[in-house]
């Protein structure tokens, strides 16, 4: 079962990255960018994602993140670097804004259904006694709701168009709250001096490969899609399907 869980994290992460790349390739020809700039953006996406994935994977293999005695824990780098990058892109990137205008809004919501699979994988780690119960839907993790409601909100707000846009905005805001709630629970379950949840096992497994992809890739995609969806919905009307 452990090998199956490992494969699950790898397959899900790669699938989500490929989905995002597909949306990028869909949007770019519809922008005002010249072909050379479009190619640079596609290449930049692949280089950035590939370099980040390789970096956190190599550091996890070398046990760099497994040192929880450092203050702050080294694993914070995996959390903070993509978070600051996503916030910066959302707030300041005109290139991203133009790309988002060419992506049908439901596509930034449908992808959030991947969080259902994430919660199943987290639960599998729990039953293998590799993660504490508070990080699962049996404990204090309600992030699965974001995955369940994602296709419903996407369909009725945009595919069918029978719900108002503000419902999607509220969904994104609640999704952000849920993802950062479980991130906080995960941090407070680290075996650090500021650990709050003292039940075993401590949250050590995310410092290992491929489970470092959970905070480094999957969590990043979850909140980034909320940020980008909000940017899209609160700016000019996005493209239709």
> With left for phi above 0 and alpha for psi between -120 and 50, is residue 161 left, alpha or beta?
left
Is pLDDT of 20 > 60? Answer: yes
Closest CA to 61 of 224, 200, 210: 210
Q: Please check whether residue 241 lies inside any domain of the structure.
A: no
Write down the pLDDT at residue 151: 98
Mean pLDDT of 125-150: 97
Instruction: Band the pLDDT of 127: cuts 50, 70, 90.
Output: very high
Lowest mean pLDDT among 74-83, 127-136, 229-238: 229-238
Q: What percent of the chain has pLDDT over 70?
A: 98
User: What gap in Å lies between CA 38 and CA 240, rounded to an integer?
Assistant: 21
How many other β-carbons are positioned within 10 Å of the β-carbon of residue 230? Answer: 19
Mean pLDDT of 138-142: 96
Alpha carbon of 229 to those of 23, 31, 49, 171, 237: distances in Å? Answer: 13, 18, 20, 10, 12
* Sole residue written with tokens 């993140």: 65
Domain count, the chain: 1
The model's pTM is 0.94
Write down the pLDDT at residue 236: 58
> Which range of residues forms the domain containing residue 204?
2-234
Is pLDDT of 133 > 80? Answer: yes
Q: Please check whether residue 102 lies inside any domain of the structure.
A: yes
Write down the pLDDT at residue 238: 47
Decide if 141 contacts 135 (C-beta within 8 A). Answer: yes
Mean pLDDT of 208-216: 97
- Across the chain, mean pLDDT equals 95
Write down the pLDDT at residue 75: 94
Q: Please check whether residue 240 lies inside any domain of the structure.
A: no
Write down the pLDDT at residue 237: 57
């Amino acid at each position: 079962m452990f090998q199956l869980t490992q494969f699950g994290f790898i397959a899900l992460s790669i699938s989500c990255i490929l989905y995002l790349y597909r949306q990028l390739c869909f949007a770019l020809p519809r922008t005002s960018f010249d072909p050379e700039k479009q190619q640079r953006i596609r290449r930049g996406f692949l280089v950035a994602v590939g370099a980040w994935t390789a970096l956190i994977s190599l550091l996890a293999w070398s046990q760099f993140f497994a040192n929880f005695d450092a203050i702050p824990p080294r694993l914070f780098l995996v959390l903070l670097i993509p978070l600051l990058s996503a916030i910066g892109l959302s707030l300041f990137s005109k290139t991203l804004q133009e790309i988002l205008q060419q992506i049908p809004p439901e596509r930034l919501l449908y992808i959030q259904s991947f969080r259902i699979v994430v919660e199943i994988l987290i639960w599998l780690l729990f039953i293998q006694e590799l993660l504490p119960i508070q990080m699962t839907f049996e404990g204090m993790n309600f992030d699965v709701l974001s995955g369940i409601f994602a296709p419903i909100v996407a369909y009725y707000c945009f595919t069918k168009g029978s719900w108002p846009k503000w419902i999607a905005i509220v969904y994104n805001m609640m999704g952000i709250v849920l993802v950062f709630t479980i991130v906080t629970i995960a941090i407070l379950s680290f075996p650090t001096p500021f650990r709050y949840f003292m039940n075993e096992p401590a949250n050590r497994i995310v410092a290992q490969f491929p489970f470092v992809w959970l905070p480094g890739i999957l969590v990043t995609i979850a909140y980034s899609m909320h940020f980008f969806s909000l940017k899209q919905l609160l700016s000019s009307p996005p493209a239709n399907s």
